[in-house]
Structure 1
């Protein structure tokens, strides 16, 4: 990993766009050669590969008019912070990388956002991160002192920074605002990678405070599962397609939180599969939404009608990613949800009704998103460009790893 950091630093001095993309592809191939171990090391390599892959997709999705040295430096800073999070063994360095990863997203929202409300969205993002991360910093400094406390408040103080990054239902207000105000490439990296930092941090901290996590997991499991079910219904009330996709990310992550807090090996495996699959699927959804927005100049469900008759190729990508979002095979989300549902029901059979309602409603809003935006009468659109070859390649690079990794799930097995 040190070689990757030094190489990225050398590329940053050149500030060349295509050279950076090609170098990141070489670094990704280098990380593939490191998949030979198991445990936490393999988990770090998997998330580092996901970060590099999605940042490459992000750089490819940037319009030619938006390419600048400043944006390239921000992307390289993001790679630095993410790799520090995933490879650091020191808790202080982990915390530094964890907090430093917010800065590039904040700069992207401020500098390349669409509307004046981006200032408010950035303040929400910064406030939630700083407020819930301060107790984590105190717990790292006074780790031996914190281990003496076994109450629910101590559990929240330690793990709330990761639950807010997921985000957990109740502290999720910043995510829809950040998604709506961020550009397409900002939403891709925010949904594809930033939400996974909470899952990785929760897994990492469970090795230190696993007993405390297990003692007070019942309330968080129930609240996350019920909150995810309610937010699945909220998705049907959204007219902005970007807001709907943002709420669907919260729904998926609420299932991951419920599974991780059951503290079983099956839940850990399912959580990794869901986080990997959601990284590709949500990034692909935001990307295809950006392609649609560039042509129709609207994100409204009511105005984007009849795209299947205007751009059949674009409608095909909508179908593929919406079907993957509802865990249709061969998507990697399918085994992940099966593992998590099994782990939750093994923890308590009383949650059987909630699991059924959750799986039903969370599948229906993906069907709602596809059918309402792709079918129906067209809104008298005039001529616009069809999907280009470069955009189709970008979509393929999202969809292929999302669906091909199901052929050998042992690659994701950390135990």
Structure 2
């Protein structure tokens, strides 16, 4: 855990991946992140597979946080959260807009409690369009944003990417939005300090960065970045496995075709110029595919590294657990203090050389910090006991 955001209090009303992933990044950077859960807990706590500390999805997205379990549907719960928001620098939620309004977490209601708070909401679709009230999950956004459709352009059928990519992309947008708002506020900005992160729009911007392509310049231009959509851009078979190879520059392609004895390719009139070489990228990929079956993966790695052509063997997720580079940097090491049943943990990958860090804290049990957090907000023991007795907060 880093000290960069020390003194910043973030209230995260998030569930599953989007909210918790963003909150964890802020917590890793040193913010005091208070995760607000319903009395039954974030559903990721109960997701399969289960182990020490709950579901793996929960364990991997909720380190370094304090946990408050409270019934926000009760007026007493909303009053307690309002007191907490009065002490906070940031509120971040990933609820639908109407649900947030019902719970008193709309931007106007929160600003009335704390005018300096940064209100960040991550929703499925932006509030300005006709989709604003649609429910959204990762698969829905992959479908609506064009990500699944890219598979059809390349391979003939739509395909989902097998990772929760829309949630995580939106979470990263939320983090930089919150940090930018914090900088503005600390430099005297007057607000209102509101950040809105719609998953749909975030993914469209993310994908169309390169795939807007010819449509950037012409009404009739077809979207799609040709090199990425070539059916021959894929993992390639070797004599004993699979490999990724990406000659990109003219020099890299030249060295590669010379390595495989195809110097005739260099003599083609389209080879020298990037634009014409790009137009023939399918032919180049076909040459790649045909040649790579002649040697083993290890032989190709050695040969391609020797001529400085980018390459990698195709790693399966299980291979990462024994990857020598990750082992050397202690990537999956479990911090001190984590439950004994946790065999591997994930680090904050962004490094800040020269800045001292402290050990990460494991995800806390549901409601573990109820008393401490509410005491910070001015509740005495009797008032906290009364909330427990009334079933407003977890015991």
- What is the TM-score of this pair, normalised by structure 2? 0.27
Greater radius of gyration (CA) = 2
More strand by share: 2
Greater relative CO (CA pairs within 8 A, separation 6+)? 2
- What is the TM-score of this pair, normalised by structure 1? 0.26
